[in-house]
Amino acid sequence: MDSAELKSQRRQFAIKLWPPSQNTRQMLVERITGNLTSNSIFTQKYGSLNVNEAKDHAIRIEDVAFDTANKHYEMEPDGDGSSAVQLYAKECSKLILEVLKRGPRTEEDREPASEKVNAFQETFFDISKGPRAFIEADEAEELLKPLKEPENSYTKICFSNRSFGLGAARVAEPILLSIKDQLKEVDLSDFIAGRPETEALEVMNIFSAALEGSILKSLNLSNNALGEKGVRAFGALFRSQHALEELYLMNDGISEEAARAVCDLIPSTEKLRILQFHNNMTGDEGALAISEVVKRSPLVVDFRCSSTRIGSEGGVALSESLETCTQLKKLDIRDNMFGVEAGVALGKAFSKLTDLKEVYLSYLNLEDEGAIAIINALKESAPLLEVLEMAGNDITAEAAPTIASALAVMQHLTKLNLAENELKDEGAIQIGKALDEGHLQLVEVDMSATSIRRAGARLLAQVVVQKPSFKLLNIDGNFISDEGIDEVKEMFKKCPNALGSLDENDPEGGDGDDGSGDDVDNDDELESKLKNLEVGQE
């Protein structure tokens, strides 16, 4: 089995936090009901609801929040679902407050509770629920009927998961023309699946012309295999947009030519805050075009260009363009072929980005030199970093002192992923000691497949198991002895779910020539050597 296959298998073992179980959803409904009926500063101000009315609201609040979070998760399928969980909770809180502000029904208020809750839904028209399916003219007439109602207040539409043929597109055309001035968010992701290219392009032209001139804040055209032809089919819509804040072009076949078309057709990205190009075949030349878009987007806070086949040249250009995005909070460029030179360029860019909270830099071929450049920059510019992922970058124990020194400063860290690097016990122990002091918000550490043995596993477990919010330690795929496994499990006996699977651990693996073997004497000797290590030293 080659390394690529091994990496793929290991990724499949990642624990997913989304979607929640039905029991969890039901428990949340009950909790929302309690919030709407209990005595609090909000119910004192606006009035509490009776149990029946609160339960009716709670069911619908949870359902709306779940749909919103689930759509977010579907756009980030490689994630663990933690951001979807956060959005789920945030949406519930927002909708609870809206219901409380409206207050309980009075005798004169004859509007059913279901209709009152729908007050926060009436701006969102969504036909994406249900199985993925083709849609033709007759069904489109029925499905889109609410959009034809006089004075409707829909500002957001989602046509995702339904494949529009020419007949359906012609039904939608006059409807979109009639409401385009009120639309703020348009989701046309995955809306031409399975159609012949000629028909798909004509459908895109129809939608583009119908929506031309609208003033959109968000446009999602993901999962449409656009390519250059598809991008240019949306040219009329692109050219008319001057206020876009969110643009999603994920899994769209954005090649070099398509990337140039995006750069040419969008006249202004000065207000853009979210830009996502995940899973495209952009390559180095395409990255140069995307870099121009990024340079023109100084307000971007969330940029994703992961799995886009970008190498060193494109990586350098993209890294340099990020220097203008001084408000950047989240960067995801995983699974590209940047290499050392692009890693060094990325480090220079990071020195100017002081608002970073999440960086996803796994599988970039950074090696020690690129990783050290990045870590040193983050140490100085991003002490408030919450998520750091640098898995699969050929990082060795030589870089561990630098990593440890930076981690000691990053006291807001919630998630650390250094999996699939050659850190061995020496590196793992230094990193573990860096996490020992403080780091009270730490939730997850992934040091799987890092060639660690008993000493490294034991110290990592000792450190993280004490953290009050800790949820998961992943040290699978290593060379931990059976005795070491028993010790680690004993440490986690009060919270066994916080220790990940150890099914891929190989107690007899490794070359055994680094002085950190599995026998007790070697482990204790290594740990003793590192006992007085100062995290700040380089």
**Residue 339 CB coordination number (10 Å):** 19
Return d(Cα 309, Cα 286) in angstroms, integer: 10
**What's 395-507's CATH class?**
alpha beta
Return d(Cα 16, Cα 12) in angstroms, integer: 10
pLDDT at 44 over 80: no
Mean pLDDT along residues 64-90: 79
58-62, 308-312, 349-353, 496-500: range with lowest mean pLDDT:
58-62
**Residue 329 CB coordination number (10 Å):** 19
Return d(Cα 393, Cα 367) in angstroms, integer: 6
Q: What is the pLDDT of residues 147-196, one digit of tens each?
A: 999 889 999 999 999 999 999 999 999 999 999 999 999 999 999 999 99
Boundaries of every domain in the chain? 22-102, 395-507
Most confidently modeled of 64-78, 107-121, 346-360, 512-526?
A: 346-360
Mean pLDDT along residues 422-426: 97
E strand or H helix at 492: none
Q: Which has more pLDDT, 380 or 109? A: 380
- What is the rounded end-to-end Cα distance, in angstroms, of the chain? 37
Asked, colleague to colleague, whether 22-102 and 395-507 share their fold, the answer is no
Return d(Cα 417, Cα 129) in angstroms, integer: 34
User: For residue 91, what pLDDT is reported?
Assistant: 84
Band of pLDDT at residue 82, cut at 50, 70 and 90: confident
Q: Which of 335, 331, 372, 369 is nearest to 353 (CA)?
A: 331
Band of pLDDT at residue 538, cut at 50, 70 and 90: very low
CA distances from 219 to 66, 167, 213, 246, 337 (A): 21, 23, 13, 6, 28
Dig out the tokens for 113 from the structure: 């509770």
Q: Is the peptide bond before 174 cis (omega within 30 degrees of 0)?
A: no
Q: What is the pLDDT of residues 465-484, one digit of tens each?
A: 999 999 999 999 999 999 99
User: For residue 180, what pLDDT is reported?
Assistant: 96
pLDDT at 6 over 60: no
Return d(Cα 90, Cα 69) in angstroms, integer: 9
Return d(Cα 8, Cα 23) in angstroms, integer: 31
**HSE toward the beta carbon, residue 257, CA cutoff 13 A:** 7
Q: Which has more pLDDT, 176 or 101? A: 176
Return d(Cα 18, Cα 288) in angstroms, integer: 35
Q: What is the pLDDT of residues 318-357, one digit of tens each?
A: 999 999 999 999 999 999 999 999 999 999 999 999 999 9
Dig out the tokens for 190 from the structure: 């995955």
Return d(Cα 224, Cα 424) in angstroms, integer: 43
- Which residue type, as a one-letter code, is found at position 252? D
Q: Is the peptide bond before 19 cis (omega within 30 degrees of 0)?
A: yes
Return d(Cα 334, Cα 340) in angstroms, integer: 15
* Residue 109 dihedral angles phi and psi, to the nearest 5°: -85, 100
Determine the CATH number of domain 22-102: 1.10.246.200
User: For residue 530, what pLDDT is reported?
Assistant: 45
The percent of residues above 90 in pLDDT, for the chain, comes to: 70
Q: Are 168 and 137 in contact, with CB atoms under 8 Å apart?
A: yes
If you search the block for the tokens 């249900």, which residue do you land on?
130
- Which residue type, as a one-letter code, is found at position 490? E
Exposed, middle or buried: residue 490 (CB in 10 Å: 0-12, 13-18, 19+)?
exposed
If you search the block for the tokens 């089919």, which residue do you land on?
233
pLDDT at 11 over 60: no
pLDDT at 453 over 90: yes
